[in-house]
Structure 1
Amino acid sequence: MNDDDIGRSHGMHVVHDGPRQAPALLLVHGSGMSSGFWNPVVPALAAGHHVIRVDLPGCGQSPPTGSYGVAVQAGRVAALLDGLGVRSVAAAGHSSGGYVATALAERRPGLVRSLALVSCGPRPDALLPQPLALRALTAPPFGRLLWAARSDAAIRRWIGAMCVRPAGLPDGALAELRGTTYRALRAVLRGNTEYITERSMPERLAALGVPGLVVFGAADPRWEPSSAHQYGAVPGTRVELLPGVGHVPMVEAPEETGDLLRRFAAVGAAEGGPS
């Protein structure tokens, strides 16, 4: 069975970059987004890593599924990695993708050797009043209608509302965003809230005991940027704030973000070995 067949068997579109014999690095996208949002940082990461990107169920090129809970999604990713023969991975997640990556480490502590969280809100009270473009697209009942009728311009406004630096959509991301279903988006948002309400991200990270990196835009319009410092109390976790950057650092500041992830992904790579 080839990689495409393995991905389909687990209900997820998978993208591979870099040498297969190199240490594995998993990249997980945020709510309603897709693997294509990592495109700007992949060249820097793939030079020394086997980069594995997934479209989570109901997003991008992956079909919808019955459940979008964080732990359920993490279980599907774990099964996919098993199917690919990956035994050790550095995991990085953007926004709610960080919750999935963390739940993966919780579920399979021997699989995840290090964890990087990009724009990943630590607890519900750190969420800021959301920009109008985001509220309009995600709030029922009108959100469903707006989502169904969304134009390319509306999608660009949605992404632009999360950014501070001028940033165009990565190649292919516009088409991938059209694959995300409204039902999946709403279910994912509910699941995210439940996950960090049950236990905060700093608490989860402290319990895992793996090396951690937290990257936040210092001008993030979704999460209170100062909340990133809550992670600073977690042993072995480093916090990096990027000045003048919003919620999507890999698109707004790809060189800085890619360099941080590249250097961090090397942590424990020798011990973890190749995929």
Structure 2
Amino acid sequence: MRSHGNSDGLATHEVHVPAPGGGRLWAERSGAGTPVVLLHGAGMDSRLWDAVVPELARHHDVIRYDARGLGRSTPPDRMFCDVEDLGAVLDYFGFHAAALVGLSMGGETALDFALAHPERVSALGLVGTSVSGHDWPPDAQSSAYAAARRERDAAALAELELSVWASMGRTAPGGELIERMVTHNAHLRLVSEQQVEHFPDRDAQARLDDIAAPTLVIHGDRDHPEIGVIAERLVAGIPGARGRLIADADHYLPLRTPRPLTELLLAHLP
């Protein structure tokens, strides 16, 4: 474990969590209070939360980790389950239950975990999230993604990620970090995405009324249009869920508009 202080004077601790079946998940713990776990999206890593963690950690015990094979976590050498990895993170830090805040793929993992282990989730913050069971409409972008994966073209994959999901560009807030993060993870995700287990019967969209945790659904007004469609379905389907739209933010909302996002999360999290 490596400990250090951040610019706000809060102690942070870096650890490597043993992953189910082998390997390590890089994780960082900051602050004190009720526990919150932050989950990033596909092709990203926990740097996504750099601008959110300092204020969130003033009020909560915050864990962020790099998903299997991304960022500083070790690449998988066998099939793995994202829901099991999240459970391993909670177990490592001794959390029976925690609030889960996930973006995109991270939000999908949080929803699937909440359905599998409702007693372990105190609240959900779903940011620009995807959801298992959702049928994405076919388009030129999805075809290009499939081609880049098939040809194992990391450069094309990174270019697509930046043009489709970081559409506000490099000069917008967080742009340089987003570009570095996406470029760094492009080749890593080609491996990790082949090893993650897919469960055809995993369908959170069909079970939204089973979600028991207080839920806040947030997305940016400049995100992919289908993210807005998913957000509407989540708010309509999850009992008591509330939806919020943040202006001037694409899919990388925690780096584009960290202050309004953090304010919404602090008002929602227990």
TM-score norm. by structure 2 comes to: 0.78
Give the count of matched residue pairs: 249
User: Secondary structure of the residue that 1:161 maps to in structure 2?
Assistant: helix
The 3 A distance-change label for structure 1 pair 8 and 169 is: farther
The 3 A distance-change label for structure 1 pair 59 and 130 is: farther
Within the candidate set 169, 190, 200, 1:182 is matched to 190
Distance 2:148 2:74 in 1: 23
Contact 2:111–2:204 (8 Å) recurs in 1? no
Distance 2:239 2:39 in 1: 23
The 3 A distance-change label for structure 1 pair 225 and 187 is: farther
Instruction: Please tell me whether residue 15 in structure 1 is matched to residue 18 in structure 2.
Output: no
The 3 A distance-change label for structure 1 pair 141 and 229 is: closer
Corresponding residue for 2:92? 83
Please give the residue correspondences for 1:1-275 in structure 2 after superposition, counting only pairs within 5 Å.
7-8=17-18, 11-19=24-32, 22-65=33-76, 66-68=78-80, 72-122=81-131, 123-127=133-137, 129=139, 131=141, 135=144, 139-142=148-151, 144=152, 146-147=153-154, 150=155, 155=158, 158-165=161-168, 166-167=172-173, 168-170=175-177, 173=181, 177=185, 180-188=188-196, 191=198, 198-201=202-205, 203-221=206-224, 223-233=226-236, 234-266=238-270
CA RMSD of aligned residues (A): 3.1
Distance 2:231 2:88 in 1: 31
User: Secondary structure of the residue that 1:215 maps to in structure 2?
Assistant: strand
Distance 1:210 1:224 in 2: 21
User: Secondary structure of the residue that 1:230 maps to in structure 2?
Assistant: helix
How many angstroms does 1:41 deviate by? 1.2
Contact 2:17–2:25 (8 Å) recurs in 1? yes
Contact 2:219–2:227 (8 Å) recurs in 1? no
Distance 2:17 2:195 in 1: 22
Gaps of 5+ in 1: 267-275
Q: Which amino acid aligns with 1:158?
A: E
Contact 1:25–1:51 (8 Å) recurs in 2? yes
Contact 2:44–2:185 (8 Å) recurs in 1? yes
Deviations 1:137-188 (A, max 9, x none): 863432x1x21xx39xx84773353124324143873685267241213455
User: Secondary structure of the residue that 2:123 maps to in structure 1?
Assistant: strand
Q: As a proportion of its length, which structure holds more strand? A: 2
Q: As a proportion of its length, which structure holds more helix? A: 1
The 3 A distance-change label for structure 1 pair 77 and 224 is: closer
| Higher RCO (C-alpha under 8 Å, 6+ residues apart) | 1
TM-score norm. by structure 1 comes to: 0.77
Contact 2:83–2:112 (8 Å) recurs in 1? yes
